Structure 1
């Protein structure tokens, strides 16, 4: 039996709704083996982030090298990075030229350029965001939401047409496929725009009814790790995106309603296993 080996590089969310915790749950639910390189430790709950402690860059790289050298990696998801130094080191670590030199196969990588938590807490400073560009050029897919795309392109986005224009601009800048998430737009339906690199005039819309809930913490982390799991399992990028969007919607519908703020999704989809009493 083979199982997709998925490496999640992200920060830890003590509330369990986003970050590395959401990645592990998602990868496991979708049939993958989750491995981690933790980039930062956060103290947070559904009401917000109270403290952030970045993990030193050398420790982030050590985690990556430890699992890659023994277990192997089929796909990578990158979320919260923690520092500009770590962002630059990851861009170097996943440089295609390095892989060719080491005669290693290319690895699918999904980059979710996390900047701000759902609660509004800043998770990436200006220097770290500036370092994102080299890393985006290494990725198979970049998955910004509207606020992130505005920062990355320096544009204001208020409509689906502006979302499409900004996503095309970022695709041309990076040479990378872009999945621009439109959940922040004031529309009754969610529009996600997938820009296909190399054919920038080619794009597709994902259009689904909006699920009204305050329990949406970790949607971006969940979507990107779900896409990475699909890619690691051998799905095409389009198939991986479709499956991931369906999983996110199911997890939103199954949210357990925890906390007084932006609560976690129901990654387990309502399933529970209790061993029989002895």
Structure 2
């Protein structure tokens, strides 16, 4: 009989093309050695080209999924992704409180504030952005916005490293314990990709290579899921973020084309020795 691994929940939406959302999170959980659980917040109709429809799940059903898992299986970490609207964000916040999930509770919470498409287009109404800022950020162990989400959430348009530092300070003022401002969308960094971690006092830069590929679908989801996996395995936040950075560098390095649009980042590098190529 095997040993039960750490348990991590993704609270997010589906991607029918399998590139992002819950599909990406569960792949990452498996690659990082944790058991993945899920609470579906929305069903999307999408492929490699784009999203054509979003169907939110009733907020009470989202909350019930969280409670059903936490009360029986238990959770060592949780992460959020696409939450579809303010009512669902509110339901998730209350369910996390009721089940001991969040920065002031035993179970850490990684909030990936999915608010923009990979093309920078907004995905949420202003009311949902307000709910992120007022309800989820103060409960978050760490938030992991990309630069388009930074612009939508706090109005800071980042074009250089100084802007990235300024964004981290503004975001930290909204209440999360840690802020990870991802640098993948910083076009000015032509030779590298620097993510920035801030705890309110200290900045830590996490540099990495930049790859010439459009196949980065699900990269943000996967990195947040890897952070949550590290926290579930008992890592401190800095160690978990460094672990996730190493994971996502290889996932992007091994990304692959899929369909006519953007292919996904790949966790398959973690099992390559097993399947023999």
TM-score (norm 1): 0.91
Q: What are structure 1's unaligned runs of at least 5 residues?
A: none
Match of 1:9 in 2: 11
Match of 1:271 in 2: 272
Aligned length: 266
C-alpha distance in structure 2 between counterparts of 1:63 and 1:273, whole Å: 34
Q: More displaced, 169-178 or 68-77?
A: 169-178
1:194 paired with 2:193, answer: no
Q: Does structure 2 retain, via aligned residues, the 8 Å contact 1:10–1:20? A: yes
**1:175 Cα deviation from its structure 2 partner:** 4.4
C-alpha distance in structure 1 between counterparts of 2:89 and 2:32, whole Å: 27
Q: Does structure 2 retain, via aligned residues, the 8 Å contact 1:48–1:120? A: no
Match of 1:217 in 2: 217
Q: 1:175 to 1:65 in 2, by over 3 A?
A: closer
Q: What are structure 2's unaligned runs of at least 5 residues?
A: none
Structure 2 SS opposite 1:53: strand
Match of 1:67 in 2: 69
Structure 2 SS opposite 1:94: helix
Describe the superposition over 1:241-262 as per-residue Cα deviations: whole angstroms up to 9, x where unpaired.
1111111111112223212211
1:183 paired with 2:184, answer: yes
C-alpha distance in structure 1 between counterparts of 2:195 and 2:105, whole Å: 30
Q: Does structure 2 retain, via aligned residues, the 8 Å contact 1:49–1:121? A: no
1:18 paired with 2:20, answer: yes
**1:113 Cα deviation from its structure 2 partner:** 0.2
Q: More displaced, 122-131 or 212-221?
A: 122-131
Q: Where do 1:86-105 residues align within 5 Å?
A: 86-95=88-97, 98=98
**1:84 Cα deviation from its structure 2 partner:** 0.5
Match of 1:161 in 2: 162
Q: 1:167 to 1:120 in 2, by over 3 A?
A: closer
C-alpha distance in structure 1 between counterparts of 2:273 and 2:58, whole Å: 37
Describe the superposition over 1:97-154 as per-residue Cα deviations: whole angstroms up to 9, x where unpaired.
x567xxx952100000001222455432211111001211101000011111112212
Q: 1:195 to 1:213 in 2, by over 3 A?
A: same
Q: 1:217 to 1:234 in 2, by over 3 A?
A: same
**1:272 Cα deviation from its structure 2 partner:** 8.4
TM-score (norm 2): 0.91
C-alpha distance in structure 2 between counterparts of 1:272 and 1:175, whole Å: 39
Match of 2:116 in 1: 116
Q: Does structure 1 retain, via aligned residues, the 8 Å contact 2:137–2:174? A: no
Q: Does structure 1 retain, via aligned residues, the 8 Å contact 2:208–2:249? A: no
Structure 2 SS opposite 1:174: coil
What RMSD, in angstroms, separates the aligned Cα atoms of the two structures? 1.8
